[in-house]
Amino acid sequence: MPMNIRIGQGYDVHAFGEGDHVMLGGVRVPHGRGVLAHSDGDVVLHALCDAMLGALALGDIGRHFPPSDPRWKGADSRAFVRHCNELLRERGWKLGNADVTVICERPKVGPHADAMRTLIAGDLGVDIDAISVKATTSEALGFIGRGEGIAAQAVCLLVPA
Ligand SMILES: Nc1ccn([C@@H]2O[C@H](COP(=O)(O)O)[C@@H](O)[C@H]2O)c(=O)n1
Ligand SMILES: C[C@@]1(CO)OP(=O)(O)OP(=O)(O)OC[C@H]1O
């Protein structure tokens, strides 16, 4: 009997660099640092894309949007999410739900989480209740604890469209 659900997980890290904001879930979050990245460096959306691609066994974000390709320089990562959504729709799937955890000491993510959920849900054409965004610190431990970077991990479930 063919499987009627698929699961995927994704993880992304970017180092902090010069700047005054970070893009998280499509939301411009004010911060004393920016991130070093080829695109806009949105770890929430990159982890989500990798979860969606993983659920389809279609490789990873770097395969679909190579960092060597100048087209993706400074790219809005919401376009990556919409592309991944097309890939799953073409194959007869839609996102059932996704759960993303951001890991950083700062910025505070909680106040922006609902704005991220709204944008992600809109881009994927699903109800906001299908999208969870939450956060944790690293309790001052390791590279994240030292404020050197920001990470996100995501899981998602695909269901038949
Ligand atoms: N960047 C972050 C980190 C955490 N939060 C919120 O704070 C809560 C406590 O974090 P701990 O790491 O001490 O467990 C966490 O549950 C989040 O609600 C945040 O908003 N942004
Ligand atoms: C998103 C891409 C786009 O070129 O580049 P980065 O913004 O550097 O982000 P990363 O998470 O390293 O994923 C690789 C690339 O696909």
pLDDT in tens, 126-161: 999 999 999 999 999 999 999 999 999 999 999 999
pLDDT range class, residue 11, cuts 50, 70, 90:
very high
Among 108, 25, 40, residue whose Cα is nearest residue 74: 40
Amino acid residing at 59: G
* Residue 93 beta carbon below 6 angstroms from any ligand 2 atom: no
Q: For residues 42 and 26, is the Cβ–Cβ distance under 8 A?
A: yes
> What was the ipTM of the complex prediction?
0.92
Report whether pLDDT(1) > 90: no
CA atoms lying within 13 Å on the CB side of residue 145: 5
Distance (Å, rounded) from C-alpha 133 to C-alpha 49? 14
* Residue 42 beta carbon below 6 angstroms from any ligand 2 atom: no
Beta-bridged to residue 11, according to DSSP, are 153
pTM exceeding the 0.90 threshold for the entire prediction: yes
Residue 146: the pLDDT is 98
